[in-house]
Amino acid sequence: MRVLHFYKTYYPDSVGGIEQVIRQLAVGTTRLGMHNVVLSLSRAKDLEPISFEGHTVVRVPLDFEIASNGFSIAALTALARLAAECDVVHYHFPWPFMDLAHFLARVSKPTVVTYHSDIVRQKMLLRLYAPLKQRFLCSVDAIVATSPNYMASSTVLERYRDKTRIITYGLDKSTYPAPDAQRLAYWRDKVGIKFFLFVGVLRYYKGLHVLLDAVANTDYPVVIVGAGPIENELKAHAARLGLAHVMFVGQLDDADKVALLTLCYAMAFPSHLRSEAFGISLLEGAMFGKPMISSEIGTGTTYINIDGDTGLVVPPDDSPAFGAAMRTLWENPALAAAMGKRAALRYEELFTAERMAANYAALYQELVARHAAVALAADAN
């Protein structure tokens, strides 16, 4: 079976949560005998197709962006051509240009949308986009919500409940490079032996101001991995608070990130808005057996992190509560270790890439069979 994934960014140009999900899904279903192609936009000059971990990456030029919404004229032709060659088209929402491209390219193959997140911030543009969004979601064959929490809390998904099912994200730990002793020693010397870790793109909804305020007047070491649009703002905020124990280390390669995931005491994940629909780096923390602190925002973060079991969950945008949770873990190593073990068990039970790939493979096969049955019935008439 041939599957085409369509999303605005992908490796090697961009590394983020959705890109990681597509990667894990492509690798996992390739192992099940499927052929995956990922179509994305790029600013790179050399746009020859790339072979990446067993699947093909096709990139077309990004022409311009409006409110983080990439547009590409070449994508329309590429989508039409690649869709004609595949058995299933897998869209990754939200990306308004994708909705438009679906219709302009006249895609007629079985279609599935992974609904990664509601659109939260762009209220005015959302009103303009709503008719296209509704038409697009009505037209596809299946929609996938990434957690029962998000399914229950999204007013958009409520409208399409009859065609929506839940398939959670999954990660394959074997795709993460094991850090060598030298790298571990380097980071241990640099950040110490006991610290809280945040990993992610430094965006407005990540709630890092909450984390910074939470550790004011404490000496808990915090390591922040990532870069992004509010990086300078966060560093200035940390400087105002005099947070010498907070270390911004920038965007790191996978080996360095894994070294810090291996060494850290606990994961601090303060995202406070539902733009954070799941939290891949939170799931990475669970995969590495770390206790977690997160906020209750009605999304997948609280499907990964169960309060009092795998970590602690606090109200959103509440620095005192977040700080109190940090203190609880910091002062109770046995509790933190037990929560970390349960987090790893929950990952193994619910969040492996193997499980995700098998569930999507079954969905693909169901959609192809359904289309074939409809075509056969139409021919009979």
User: Residue 123: is its pLDDT beyond 70?
Assistant: no
Written as one letter, the residue type at 66 is I
Instruction: Give the pLDDT confidence of 275-321 residue by residue, as tens digits.
Output: 898 999 999 999 999 999 999 999 999 999 999 999 999 999 999 99
Q: Are residues 229 and 263 in the same domain?
A: yes
Q: Are residues 139 and 13 in the same domain?
A: yes
Nearest one of 246, 294, 300, 241 to 271, comparing CA atoms = 294
Ranges of beta strands (E only) in the chain are: 2-6, 35-42, 50-52, 55-61, 64-66, 69-71, 88-93, 111-115, 142-145, 164-166, 196-199, 222-225, 246-250, 266-269, 292-295, 311-314
pLDDT attached to residue 306: 98
- Domain range holding 289? 174-350
Q: Are residues 140 and 232 in the same domain?
A: no
User: Residue 379: is its pLDDT beyond 90?
Assistant: no
Q: Are residues 247 and 299 in the same domain?
A: yes
Q: Are residues 297 and 239 in the same domain?
A: yes
Written as one letter, the residue type at 77 is T
Q: Are residues 145 and 126 in the same domain?
A: yes
Domain count along the chain: 2
Q: Is 262 in contact with 288 (CB distance < 8 Å)?
A: yes
Instruction: Grade residue 375 by pLDDT with cuts at 50, 70 and 90.
Output: confident
Query: Which is more confidently placed, 119 or 51?
Result: 51
Q: Are residues 290 and 302 in the same domain?
A: yes
Q: Are residues 363 and 329 in the same domain?
A: no
Q: Are residues 336 and 376 in the same domain?
A: no
Q: Are residues 134 and 203 in the same domain?
A: no
Two tokens, residue 12: 């090697």
Q: Are residues 162 and 244 in the same domain?
A: no
pLDDT attached to residue 278: 92
Q: Are residues 305 and 376 in the same domain?
A: no
H helical segments located in 31-154? 73-85, 96-104, 123-139, 148-153
CATH number of the domain bearing residue 86 = 3.40.50.2000
